[in-house]
Structure 1
Amino acid sequence: MADRGPVLVVGGTGMLGSQVVSGLLTGGKHVRALVRPGSDASLLEELGATIARGDMMDPESLVSAMDGVDAVITSAAGYTHHREGDSPVIDTVGNTNLVDAASRVGVRRFVLTSILTCDQTPEVPHFWHKKLTEDRLEELGVPFVALRPGAFLEQIARFGDPFSEGRLTWFGSPSVPLTYVLASDLAGYLAAAVDASGVEGQRIDIGWDRPVTMQDIADISGQILGRKIELVLTPMNPLNPMAKDLGAMIDWFGTGRYVADTSRQREVFGPPPTAEDAVARLLTSLGHKLD
């Protein structure tokens, strides 16, 4: 397919966004990454992306960053506070600014990283904000596709390798099945969604071959490693600035309704990974040698 122009990636300095940039470049796309003034963009430049300095809170900088682009992919999320300057306002005002800029410029496709079941959860702010962004895209007539992934499995290793310690820590129910994803898989789907046919205006659930419990994750990883992995339940820290939002999310998880319908994912992107394959790849990424 002829190159129509660069793809603007918003959130490219994050765990997911950097993998989206890499996947697009590997696929032969030209990539422009939106990076806040003062943020380090050296890794993205080393990958081969060009850098557009701008901020989701500055509408004109977004219009400038989108000048001449073919498509936009955003994985930006303010509520996580993973990077300096992140704020929940990114998920509201920032996303509105981004969609409005895409409408003004007339991008061919806008690929949104949404959240599974976001349209069912007004009580979970960071879920609901994704639903509102989907609605804004539809309202303004921006050609879009929204991928709705489950929970990132990598989060269990955010503060270290729990498998080396033999203990998985979890603050939800050990027995309610949920949908999980690997960021590396989602990054590939996001990159592929730029040119996927027949997806405009669709919300596509993203997950594995089946929902699993965190006890299942412990058991699967233990079987792969050949030793027991203990599941330890821990209460959420009430001093966490995201405690209210995360608490509402955990309550939603407990309903058993955080489960993907992966039929459309299968049609567009191919068979979903199995839980066993995904866990094995996470273990490999953490440096574990598998038999």
Structure 2
Amino acid sequence: MLQKVNNKRVLVAGATGYLGSHIAQIMMTQGLAARLLTRKKEKLAQYQSPEIEIVEATVTEPNTLSGSCAGIDTVISTIGITRQKDGFTYMDVDYQANLNLLREAQRSGVRKFIYVSAINGDQHRDLKIFEAKEAFVDELKKSELEYTVIRPNGFFSDMKDFLQMAGKGRVFLFGKGEQLMNPIHGADLAEIILTMIDESVNECSVGGPDVLTQNEIAELAFDAHDKVPNIWHLPDWIRRFSLWSVRKFTTVETYGPIEFFLTLMANDNVAMRYGKRKLRDFYFAEAKNN
């Protein structure tokens, strides 16, 4: 499926991150034409090749983006932050930095813009992280560019919290632990994002191949550590009280990622099933290497 993009130059913003690095790796191994944006070229030196160009730019500083989209057919942006740091807010990065890139893409005549948000972001605009992401989605929809908004389920890397708790002998869940989700590996997500270059899909929620309850995810984590499952189910009022408390008594820098986690943990989060990589295999490999 990836052969389709061989003759189209793609710009990837956020290639130093978890997902962006998987996209860059596929493009390099497939010999696809790409331009990677980074603040420091040395961070992406491993991807340098005749087909891949590394360009320095800072997406929060629009003047540095001048010319970055010249000759580009499709922009893929994985730009976003989970935790606010270095003085940057969600609005600075998830919204404004992406908007800076979108405006440059428009000036350069880019055909399509692919943006990576998160599952059910359009349903949780009250959360600080989604407020910024979905504000950018609004701008993207008005841009008159072809676009695809990808809303992935949790990454396998996000599921390490279960593995770490299991390693310590106890996993805490809220409620009965029967909420469903199908987390996805970054490499599988990167593959489907690249197929979207030539697909006329405006919005797409995607997850991994296996739909699991939180209890089942916890049990996989214990299996990876060769331990008997020890799952503690906390009353949901503790989650709700914790959510209220962090919003009331901490700054948005602190509560932003916590409210995101506590809110999504309370609901089913199931997306279109895609890919071949299994959470079980990921857990066993992580447990063996740590």
- TM-score normalised per structure 2: 0.78
Is residue 108 of structure 2 the alignment partner of residue 74 of structure 1?
no
Report SS of the residue matched to 1:187.
helix
Separation (CA, whole Å) in 1 of partners of 2:186 and 2:38: 20
Q: Bigger CA drift: 8-17 or 42-51?
A: 42-51
Within a 5 Å distance, the mapping from 1:111-190 to structure 2 comes to 111-157=114-160, 162=164, 165=167, 167=169, 174-190=177-193
Post-superposition CA distance 1:57-94 (Å, at most 9, x none): 22233241111112111111134358x78642111211
Separation (CA, whole Å) in 2 of partners of 1:254 and 1:283: 19
Separation (CA, whole Å) in 2 of partners of 1:43 and 1:80: 27
Amino acid at match of 1:249: F
Amino acid at match of 2:11: L
Separation (CA, whole Å) in 1 of partners of 2:233 and 2:41: 39
Separation (CA, whole Å) in 1 of partners of 2:165 and 2:257: 24
Task: Name structure 2 gaps, 5 residues minimum.
Answer: none
Q: 1:255 to 1:223 in 2, by over 3 A?
A: closer
Q: Bigger CA drift: 12-21 or 31-40?
A: 31-40
User: Which structure shows the higher helix fraction?
Assistant: 2
- The structure, 1 or 2, with the larger RCO (C-alpha pairs under 8 Å, 6+ apart) is 2
**How many Å apart are 1:255 and its aligned residue?**
4.4
Separation (CA, whole Å) in 1 of partners of 2:128 and 2:111: 29
Question: What RMSD in Å do the two structures reach over aligned CA positions?
Answer: 3.5
**How many Å apart are 1:179 and its aligned residue?**
4.0
Within a 5 Å distance, the mapping from 1:5-20 to structure 2 comes to 5-20=8-23
Q: 1:2 to 1:134 in 2, by over 3 A?
A: closer
Task: Name structure 1 gaps, 5 residues minimum.
Answer: 263-270
Separation (CA, whole Å) in 1 of partners of 2:134 and 2:5: 33
Q: How many residues align?
A: 273
Q: 1:250 to 1:143 in 2, by over 3 A?
A: same
Report SS of the residue matched to 1:23.
helix
**How many Å apart are 1:219 and its aligned residue?**
1.7
Post-superposition CA distance 1:149-206 (Å, at most 9, x none): 1112312437x963883646557554432342222211221222223x332xx11011
Q: Bigger CA drift: 121-130 or 217-226?
A: 217-226
Within a 5 Å distance, the mapping from 1:202-221 to structure 2 comes to 202-209=202-209, 211-221=211-221
